[in-house]
Amino acid sequence: MTAPEDQPPVVVPTPLAIAAREASRIAVLTGAGMSAESGIATFRDARTGLWKDFDPQDLASPEGWSADSDLVWGWYRWRAELVRRSEPNAGHVALARWQKQAHVDIATQNVDDLHERAGARVLSHVHGSLFEPYCSDCGTRAAFDDTGDVPAEADQRVPPPECPLCGGLIRPGAVWFGESLPEDAWAAAENAVRNADLVLVVGTSGVVYPFAGLPAIARSAGATVVEINPVDTEVSDMADHRWRTTAAVGLPALVAQL
């Protein structure tokens, strides 16, 4: 075992350190890798990713919902419980701290609430939220109900509750493949990157559009774009700087040197 003081200090790449100190408006775009060190699996990691065991069409599409709503509801209920039992990591905490010192807009693809539980304000949840289910028929928002049996396994079927107003099935509050993003959430995210002078792209593989188009929008609007991710991604080429580190290692070091 190594004591924390024995760990080598994290060195922030100089161009990023300077850009972070000089920026007056920062936008941070986050994906599943942001929450990986909180114990929430990403989607596309070859060993642990959620899409290794499941077909996204079955769990994250209107067709999947029509075919087997109990499977879909059980999976999202299982994930919500996993998130509820997890804690924000040092990267989430660092972003919350940065927001106290500077204008930092966070737009996330994540449907968890770990940014908020770290004390950060999220400008935009572009793919919705695990904790904001709504009626699949009349659209009325439903309270997230954390009572009742929690599925022990990801593939355990749980019948969705019924809407008290119309009797329709309550569906998860995540945006699915084939659905439009909530207009306000998308407009806010796009506006944030257009107006930022520094855009950090943290923990996303950059394969799901339109979110994956935001780094290019930022770049063409004149922002410095920095990727924080342990590996190359589909949006690495859009970045002015690529920092091969993790969210919970890189972000605290970056914010500490401001």
Identity of the residue numbered 137: D
107 contributes a contact to ligand OAD by CB under 6 A: no
Of 23, 29, 60, 93, the one binding ligand OAD by CB under 6 A: 60
Within residues 218-237, the interface with ligand OAD by CB under 6 A covers 229-231, 233
Given a contact cutoff of 8 angstroms between Cβ atoms, the answer to whether 246 and 33 are in contact is yes
Of 99, 129, 205, 224, the one binding ligand OAD by CB under 6 A: 205
- Whether the ω angle into residue 151 lies within 30 degrees of 0, i.e. cis, is no
247 contributes a contact to ligand OAD by CB under 6 A: yes
Given a contact cutoff of 8 angstroms between Cβ atoms, the answer to whether 11 and 78 are in contact is no
> Per-residue x/- mask for ligand OAD, residues 62 to 101, rule CB under 6 A?
----------------------------------------
Identity of the residue numbered 159: P
Residue closer to ligand OAD by CB (options 103, 213) is 213
Chain centroid offset of residue 61 CA = 18
In whole angstroms, the minimum distance from the beta carbon of 130 to ligand OAD comes to 11
In whole angstroms, the minimum distance from the beta carbon of 128 to ligand OAD comes to 8
Within residues 14-33, the interface with ligand OAD by CB under 6 A covers 31-33
Residue closer to ligand OAD by CB (options 92, 97) is 92
* 198: β partners: 26, 224
Report the run of H or E that residue 67 belongs to, with start and end. helix 62-67
238 contributes a contact to ligand OAD by CB under 6 A: no
Within residues 134-173, the interface with ligand OAD by CB under 6 A covers none
129 contributes a contact to ligand OAD by CB under 6 A: no
Residue closer to ligand OAD by CB (options 131, 176) is 176
Of the candidates 152, 119, 151, 117, the one whose C-alpha atom is nearest the C-alpha of residue 131 is: 117
Catalytic annotation, residues = 127
Identity of the residue numbered 79: R
In whole angstroms, the minimum distance from the beta carbon of 186 to ligand OAD comes to 13
Given a contact cutoff of 8 angstroms between Cβ atoms, the answer to whether 179 and 132 are in contact is no
246 vs 33: CA distance, rounded Å: 8
37 contributes a contact to ligand OAD by CB under 6 A: yes
CA distances from 37 to 68, 226, 238 (A): 31, 20, 25
Cβ atoms < 10 Å from Cβ of 66: 10
Q: Which residues bind ligand OAD (CB under 6 A)?
A: 31-33, 36-37, 42-44, 49, 56, 60, 109, 127, 174-177, 202-205, 207-208, 229-231, 233, 246-247
